[in-house]
Amino acid sequence: MEITYLLVGGDRRQFWLSRLLVPRGSVFTLGVPGLEDCLPDCPADVLILPTPCLTARGRLRGMGEGLDPAVLSGLFDGHTRIYGGAVPEGLRNKLPGCGSVTDLLLDPAVKAANGRLTAEAAVELTADRLESSLFGLSCLVLGYGCVAKPLAALLLSRHARVTVAARRVSARAEAIQSGCDACDFIHVPPSPGVVFNTVPAAALPREGLNELGPDCLWVELASAPGGLPLGYEPRFDLLRANSLPGRRLPRSAAAVLLEGILRCEVSV
Q: Is residue 21 part of a domain?
A: yes
- Give the mean pLDDT of the chain: 95
Kindly state whether residues 59 and 168 are assigned to the same domain: no
Q: Is residue 68 part of a domain?
A: yes
Give the distance between the most distant pair of CA atoms in the chain.
63
Q: Is the pLDDT of residue 268 over 80?
A: no
Q: How many domains does the chain divide into?
A: 2
Kindly state whether residues 97 and 183 are assigned to the same domain: no
pLDDT of residue 266: 80
Question: Containing domain of residue 83, as a range?
Answer: 3-106
- The model carries a pTM of 0.93
8 Å CB contact between 57 and 65: yes
Distance CA 178, CA 3 (A): 45
Q: Is residue 120 part of a domain?
A: yes
Least confidently predicted of 20-29, 173-182, 207-216: 207-216
pLDDT of residue 93: 84
**Residue range 56-64: mean pLDDT, rounded:** 91
The bridge status of strand 3-8 relative to strand 25-30 is parallel
Kindly state whether residues 31 and 94 are assigned to the same domain: yes
pLDDT in tens, 221-259: 998 889 999 889 999 999 999 889 999 999 999 999 999
Last residue of a domain, one of 57, 74, 106: 106
Kindly state whether residues 80 and 41 are assigned to the same domain: yes
Kindly state whether residues 102 and 125 are assigned to the same domain: no
Kindly state whether residues 17 and 61 are assigned to the same domain: yes
**Residue range 141-158: mean pLDDT, rounded:** 98
Kindly state whether residues 98 and 185 are assigned to the same domain: no
8 Å CB contact between 166 and 172: yes
Last residue of a domain, one of 106, 129, 156: 106
Kindly state whether residues 82 and 157 are assigned to the same domain: no
Indicate which CATH number applies to the domain containing 154. 3.40.50.720
Last residue of a domain, one of 106, 135, 165: 106
Kindly state whether residues 121 and 229 are assigned to the same domain: yes
